[in-house]
Amino acid sequence: MSSLVDDLNSQAFVVFGEHIKWSDMIGNLLGLGALALGWRRSVLSWPVQLLSGLVLVAAYASAHLSGGVGKQVVVIVVSLWGWLQWQRGRRDHGELVIRFATWTERAWLVVGTAVGTVGVALLFQAYNLSWAPWQDAYLFTGTLAAMVAQGRGWVEFWFAWLAVDLVGVPLAFNSGLAFSGLIYIVYFVLVIAGMRSWWLRTRTPQPGTPVLEGATA
């Protein structure tokens, strides 16, 4: 196992003076595929995301980012939950139901992210688990919030990912994970396209779904 991890964290190539690791590249390409599948509302988005999390654990461990490692563990666990959620939704309605979250659900998402970020950052500081505790903690809780929103089929999932990317890009470059930083540019384009696709989907009548806040904006 240690040999496999060492191989994953070895250098794949150098671009613009940045050393690209295999784990960083493979994990993020899988994550990109998962996001594209999520845009298409494919259940396959979840197993691909799970595999991405497994590979990126090695990348973040090599960069000594405990929050990054924890984030990927969360990705793995929530991917299993989201996979079941989407399968249940398709079984119950014949398709994945997309909607905007209610104001109460949005409030819980924002408050949970804020409180979680503070709590995790303080934990990282207390035990010296990360060289960038606040950014690392934000990525940890922000990713969890985004994946919960995706599992629920909320359009806010895309806004959450956008907020995570804005912090993730500079942190990735500063952590020596250059491919993560570069791929976030592609992520950004996919997030905008996916956001538009899901937003338009809410304007189409769906089984058992009321019109919610923002759906006709």
Q: Any idea what the Cα angle at residue 132 is, between residues 22 and 71, rounded to 5°?
A: 55
Report the greatest alpha carbon distance in the chain: 53
* 0.85 exceeded by pTM: no
Does residue 212 contact residue 155 with C-beta atoms inside 8 Å?
Answer: no
CA 123 to chain centre: 22
pLDDT tens per residue across all 217 residues of the chain = 556 666 677 776 766 666 678 888 898 889 889 988 988 888 999 999 999 999 988 888 877 767 668 778 888 998 999 999 888 877 776 677 889 999 999 999 999 999 999 999 999 899 887 788 898 889 889 988 998 999 999 999 999 988 888 888 787 777 776 777 777 778 788 888 888 889 988 887 665 554 434 433 3
Rounded to the nearest 10 degrees, how much is the dihedral formed by the CA atoms of 180, 68, 139, 81?
Answer: 100
Distance CA 78, CA 72 (A): 10
Q: Which pair of tokens denotes residue 93?
A: 């309605």
